[in-house]
Structure 1
Amino acid sequence: MKNIKNIFYVGMLALCTMSFTACSDEETYDFPGDPYNHVYLQDKGGTFTFVHTPISSISTLDLTLPLYCNHRVTSNFIAKVEVDNSLVAAYNEENNTEYAEIPVSSLVMENTEIRFEQGGLMSVNELHITTNEAINELRDVNGYLIPIRITAVEGENCKIVDKMSTTYVIVNVKEDTDNIYDDAADELVTGTLVSDRSGWTAIVPDGADAQAMFTESDDYWSGRASAAGEELPVIINFGKPYTFDGISASYLYYGYYTYASWTKSSKIEISGDGTTWEEVGILSNTNIIQVFYAPVTAQYLRITVPAPSSSWSSASFSCGNFNIYAK
């Protein structure tokens, strides 16, 4: 009887050992018994924009894209990626779109050979895509589609997951008639607010002291056009030339509420001598921060507030904290 019980216990121990081994295999591989490193792309292509202005062309395309493995890499290998324009037509047909193919020569592609190292779940380097000066010619109103595809893997026990080997990047194209963003773009300003504005002066129609425009206190300057139906020009002299890519204007009302100084459709101009003026753009919004597509260099800035539509009111401007985002 003891022998029978011993055989029973030995058998149960063997079954438990086999079960433990199977569980360990499932933790190591997505598919039990499959030793391959399956490589794939997550669908994170994203949407970007090319903006063409009279001054320059700007691209928001700055894509960083890693690759992934279905389990911890068993041995080092390389995956290769490329832009595959042969996929554009099929994408358009399936999604009822009309995106154009982007010339690969207009793209700057870094790290098209993606490295995986043993023990990792994600590549140790990432594909990086930006544009070059050829963006000036990329003006198709339908926008562009950039299909990014894993084309090959080099190393032992590597496979591409075919259904997850491609991601798509969409680039919209916009034409803007001036150098000021139409919509809020605070996060795109790259300059830094000027800390010392002691040498700045403001020139206003009534000759009043408007130095309160350059403080951060409760005080502010407020002025109106001399008559109803007239524009109100406000000129700011920085005392020296600055290069800047944004302007900010606000005032603190009764010490509690911060308001933007801007009136929609105000004209922004710059000058090097205070005599010859160059238009930067017309304001399409009244956000405190107005951002330029491309930096400008000037010593003078002129704000022209438009005349109100009503015949009984006059153009006005209130400001207690005017500043620029200097480069």
Structure 2
Amino acid sequence: MKNIKNIFYVGMLALCTMSFTACSDEETYDFPGDPYNHVYLQNKGGTFTFVHTPISSISTLDLTLPLYCNHRVTSNFIAKVEVDNSLVAAYNEENNTEYAEIPVSSLVMENTEIRFEQGGLMSVNELHITTNEAINELRDVNGYLIPIRITAVEGENCKIVDKMSTTYVIVNVKEDTDNIYDDAADELVTGTLVSDRSGWTAIVPDGADAQAMFTESDDYWSGRASAAGEELPVIINFGKSYTFDGISASYSYYGYYTYASWTKSSKIEISGDGTTWEEVGILSNTNIIQVFYAPVTAQYLRITVPSSSWSRASFSCGNFNIYAK
């Protein structure tokens, strides 16, 4: 009986040992008695876009990345980061992609030396990456990959977590034929709605039905072409020049519902004198807010509503405004 008990206890000890070993195989970067500050990047590279329009090239790349430590830092130290294009080929092969390498000279990199201070779990500054005017030349249809890697740590008892030392930034490339951001979210507008529009007027061509005058109370106004098959140009005179990066037009139905004033395929143009016009773009949707890639400057804005063979082109509005810079 005593031998049986001994065998049972030995077996239980073996099972416990196996269980402990299995648990210890899990990845962890913090454990009792570890003297090192293990430095790593979280995988937060993200996806951005380069958009090339006839007016300018626009980049949404504006990335900030902190670094992290596995436990509270025991003494101040510095970690260094860089863009490592040598990793692009391997990434493409592993992920079946064809991203191009981005010239580092086209990037503006701030804080490539990341500081950690005693007692912290996160760096006290962050890597900041934007682009410069060189993006005008970055037009590879496959897009670009930006591998960001921790290359070194300088200080006592510091180590890089190899498996978490790199993150990847993806940049898509888009060519647009005009300056209207077709798929833009409203929050991409950076200007501010104009509060005083008392001097603004709306003009429709002779022969068109019109009730068009701006007031501070946003009175309803409209214009309608004189016959079916005729397009309707509506000119907004702001009374002075504005720089703006978005326009908004809507009207309410008995005060309950708000509708966009836009007609799809309407042409938007601007002018400084009301005579010479420059095209901004063609509307691809009827969102209330239409966003521009790059701000424009003008005193006049012309909206040309396309013709229809079965009804008169019209533009009805109760609230027209611009997002002035």
The worse-fitting range, judged by mean Cα deviation, of 311-320 and 23-32 is 23-32
The worse-fitting range, judged by mean Cα deviation, of 17-26 and 97-106 is 17-26
Q: In the TM superposition, what is the alpha-carbon distance from 1:152 to its structure 2 partner?
A: 0.3
Secondary structure at the counterpart of residue 11 of structure 1: helix
Residues 33, 321 of structure 1: alpha-carbon distance in 2 compared, 3 angstrom cutoff: same
Counterpart Cα distance in 1 of 2:27 and 2:57: 51
Counterpart Cα distance in 1 of 2:106 and 2:258: 44
Secondary structure at the counterpart of residue 170 of structure 1: strand
Cα deviation 1:76-117 (Å, max 9, x = unaligned)? 111000000000000000000000000000000000000001
Q: In the TM superposition, what is the alpha-carbon distance from 1:314 to its structure 2 partner?
A: 1.7
Number of the residue aligned with 1:12: 12
Asked if 2 retains the 8 angstrom alpha-carbon contact of 1:268 and 1:301, the reply is yes
Asked if 1 retains the 8 angstrom alpha-carbon contact of 2:208 and 2:225, the reply is no
Number of the residue aligned with 1:311: 309
Residues 171, 12 of structure 1: alpha-carbon distance in 2 compared, 3 angstrom cutoff: closer
Q: Which runs of 5+ in 2 are unaligned?
A: none
The worse-fitting range, judged by mean Cα deviation, of 78-87 and 248-257 is 248-257
Counterpart Cα distance in 2 of 1:230 and 1:239: 28
Q: In the TM superposition, what is the alpha-carbon distance from 1:275 to its structure 2 partner?
A: 0.8
Residues 78, 322 of structure 1: alpha-carbon distance in 2 compared, 3 angstrom cutoff: same
Residues 245, 210 of structure 1: alpha-carbon distance in 2 compared, 3 angstrom cutoff: farther
Q: In the TM superposition, what is the alpha-carbon distance from 1:255 to its structure 2 partner?
A: 1.1
Q: In the TM superposition, what is the alpha-carbon distance from 1:144 to its structure 2 partner?
A: 0.3
User: RMSD across aligned C-alpha pairs, in angstroms?
Assistant: 5.2
Q: In the TM superposition, what is the alpha-carbon distance from 1:33 to its structure 2 partner?
A: 2.5
Asked if 1 retains the 8 angstrom alpha-carbon contact of 2:307 and 2:313, the reply is no
Matches within 5 A, 1:294-305: 294-305=294-305
Counterpart Cα distance in 1 of 2:214 and 2:180: 22
Secondary structure at the counterpart of residue 25 of structure 2: helix
Secondary structure at the counterpart of residue 210 of structure 1: strand
Residues 11, 120 of structure 1: alpha-carbon distance in 2 compared, 3 angstrom cutoff: farther
Normalising by structure 1, report the TM-score. 0.88
Asked if 2 retains the 8 angstrom alpha-carbon contact of 1:269 and 1:277, the reply is yes
Residues 155, 53 of structure 1: alpha-carbon distance in 2 compared, 3 angstrom cutoff: same
Asked if 2 retains the 8 angstrom alpha-carbon contact of 1:215 and 1:320, the reply is no
Asked if 2 retains the 8 angstrom alpha-carbon contact of 1:81 and 1:151, the reply is yes
Cα deviation 1:265-315 (Å, max 9, x = unaligned)? 00000111111111000001111111111111111110000xx67522121
Q: In the TM superposition, what is the alpha-carbon distance from 1:10 to its structure 2 partner?
A: 28
Q: In the TM superposition, what is the alpha-carbon distance from 1:31 to its structure 2 partner?
A: 2.2
Residues 211, 111 of structure 1: alpha-carbon distance in 2 compared, 3 angstrom cutoff: farther
The worse-fitting range, judged by mean Cα deviation, of 96-105 and 248-257 is 248-257
Q: In the TM superposition, what is the alpha-carbon distance from 1:316 to its structure 2 partner?
A: 1.2
Secondary structure at the counterpart of residue 290 of structure 1: strand
Matches within 5 A, 1:94-109: 94-109=94-109
Asked if 1 retains the 8 angstrom alpha-carbon contact of 2:38 and 2:70, the reply is yes
Counterpart Cα distance in 1 of 2:88 and 2:7: 66
Residues 21, 257 of structure 1: alpha-carbon distance in 2 compared, 3 angstrom cutoff: same
Residues 90, 213 of structure 1: alpha-carbon distance in 2 compared, 3 angstrom cutoff: farther
Secondary structure at the counterpart of residue 4 of structure 2: helix
Residues 13, 304 of structure 1: alpha-carbon distance in 2 compared, 3 angstrom cutoff: closer
Asked if 2 retains the 8 angstrom alpha-carbon contact of 1:184 and 1:285, the reply is no
Residues 213, 102 of structure 1: alpha-carbon distance in 2 compared, 3 angstrom cutoff: farther
Q: In the TM superposition, what is the alpha-carbon distance from 1:137 to its structure 2 partner?
A: 0.5
Residues 213, 87 of structure 1: alpha-carbon distance in 2 compared, 3 angstrom cutoff: farther
Counterpart Cα distance in 2 of 1:96 and 1:108: 29
Asked if 2 retains the 8 angstrom alpha-carbon contact of 1:267 and 1:281, the reply is yes
* Corresponding pairs, count: 325
Secondary structure at the counterpart of residue 6 of structure 2: helix
Counterpart Cα distance in 2 of 1:15 and 1:50: 57
Q: Which runs of 5+ in 1 are unaligned?
A: none
Residues 280, 6 of structure 1: alpha-carbon distance in 2 compared, 3 angstrom cutoff: closer
Cα deviation 1:117-139 (Å, max 9, x = unaligned)? 11110000000000011011111
Secondary structure at the counterpart of residue 108 of structure 1: strand
Counterpart Cα distance in 2 of 1:14 and 1:119: 40
